[in-house]
Each structure stands twice: as C-alpha cells, then as structure tokens.
Homo-oligomer: A and B are copies of this chain.
Amino acid sequence: VSTGASTKRIGLIGLGLMGLPMGMNLRKAGYPLTVWNRTASRAKDLVEAGAILAKSPQEVAETSDVLLTMVSDPPALESVLWGEGGALPALKAGSVYIDSSTISPALVQKIAKACQKGGIRFLDAPVTGGDWGAREGNLVFMIGGDAETLKEVQPILDVMGKRFFHLGPNGAGQTIKLAMNAILALEVGAVAEAIGLVTKAGLQGEQLLEVLQSSMGRSGLLDLKTPLMLKGDFKPSFPLRLMHKDLGLALDLANQLGVALPTTAAVREVYNHVKGEAKEDVDYSAVVRFYKN
C-alpha cells in the first residue's frame, strides 16, 4: 500500500456489479473511502474493508477530494447529483469529479457546466471490461476532460484499470464509449441473425461458429458470446436492458448531430423486442431469442 496515495479522500457513489469491485480495489490500495448506494446493504463488504457508509450522496461529496460515480443510467445519475441530498452542490471548489457511468454526451455537458461554475474539475471516464475487469483491476477507461486533471488522478485510476485513453475534452469519453457499444451490440446482433438463418435452414449454429472462427470474421467477443447464445445461457454479464439503453443514447447523439444510423436503429428495436418479452434480467446475447420463432 502506497502511503502517498492515501492522502486523497475518495468518495464513491454506486455499488453495483461494477462499482463494488472498483471500490474494493480502491480500499486495497489504501485510499480513505466514503461510499453511498441506493440499497445500503450492498456496501457490507466495503465497510468491512474499512470504507465509511454515508447517509446521502451529499455526505459523500462533502468528505471527498475526489468523487467517483458509477450508476446505471442518466436518470440515476441526475438523481444522485441533483436530487434531494444530491452530491454536486456539495462538492468543494478544487475537488475532482469523475463519472464512470455510461451517459449521454449532452448530460456530460450539463455536468461540466455545473462543475465549472463551482470550480470543480470534471472528467467523463466510462469503462469497458465487464465485472471481471472491475474485479481484476484491468478496466479500459475512455476519458474526456482536462489533461492535467487526468494526470493528477492517474494514480487512483491505476488501481482500477490497465489502459487509459485520453480522447479529448469533456464528452469525448462518452462518445467513444457509445460508439463502441453500438459496435458490440451489432456484432452480437449479426451473429444472432446468422444463427437464426442457419438454424431455420436445418443446420446447427455450432457449424457456423466453427467456420467463422476460421475466417477473418472471428473476434474475441464472438468466441465468448456465441457458445452461450447456442446453449441458451443468458445469465447477465452485461445486461440486455443496459445495452439497449446505450443503443438509445448512441442514437440520441446521432439524431442530434444529424448523422443517420439505420443499422444501429434496426438492431435497437430487436433488442427492444426481446426486452419487452423477457420475464427476467438477461445478458444482451439473449438478442438471439428474436430469431427463434
């Protein structure tokens, strides 16, 4: 444990599949940590590891030099920032705020503006790598914001991730993240359509997968997801409802910018159809269900 690192007090809001292991890594590195989660019981392991459980996002913000948020969607973030007992008005001038949720670039701008007024330095820093990456501390961070601010918090990010892309001013991190998730959703959607086609034609999806892996079309994602799609094992690693939400954010951005994304729009409705029929939380690879008619 580096003693230098422990001089900054960190606040963490959001202890879901991602936030909880990220917090554990912060504690392992010795950072003083205050946390808050809508469902307080999620904080149990962190409190045992020495974190302080606050009563509100506001209380987290008041006691932190660096605030980190990791929540499920834009409304959840707006609520913890500006709702009753919200964090943002309580942040001190000179503090740093890092958001690792996946949200719209429009909300990034709104946050950036509010931070600027309050003398707070802000980074949008969504991640990829899944819950496994969060536990192992090898997430990939996509970062928008000021380079000097990033340099200052780099030691903190280092305990959670292994690769860091500084992509531009505020909004750049989220924009690249949304673009990447649209690609992932389409890759998995493409394989789902192909499985639907060959299955209906009387062949097995396994045959398609075997050939695909011998071709240029092979990918790490498909190696991971296709066998689960063929088995029908949809335990959520990245929940379909979140992928569906991210596709909506990508399309909102595209529609604001006036760039048409017909293929992304088509696949979003397929995810939506499966979401509408799902009785439980499923992984986004469950998109293959659309084709099993």
Contacts and interface: CB of A to CB of B under 8 A. Distances in A.
A158 to B, nearest CB: 16
A233 interface: no
Contact of A254 (B165, B197, B224): B197
Interface stretch (A6-14, A29-37, A214-222): A214-222
A236 B121 CA distance: 44
A92 to B, nearest CB: 25
Nearest to A272: B260
Contacts of A163: 214
A272 B258 contact: yes
Interface string A252-276: 1111011111111111111011011
Interface residues of A, number: 78
The 9 closest A-B pairs by CB, nearest first: A258-B276, A219-B219, A186-B190, A266-B266, A260-B273, A179-B194, A260-B269, A265-B265, A200-B259
19 contacts: A165-B210, A168-B202, A175-B197, A176-B198, A180-B215, A180-B217, A182-B193, A183-B194, A187-B217, A190-B264, A216-B221, A217-B220, A219-B221, A258-B275, A260-B272, A260-B290, A261-B291, A263-B266, A265-B269
Given A175-B201, A179-B195, 17 more contacts: A128-B216, A140-B211, A179-B198, A180-B217, A186-B189, A186-B190, A190-B263, A197-B257, A197-B259, A200-B254, A201-B253, A201-B257, A216-B224, A248-B255, A258-B277, A261-B269, A265-B266
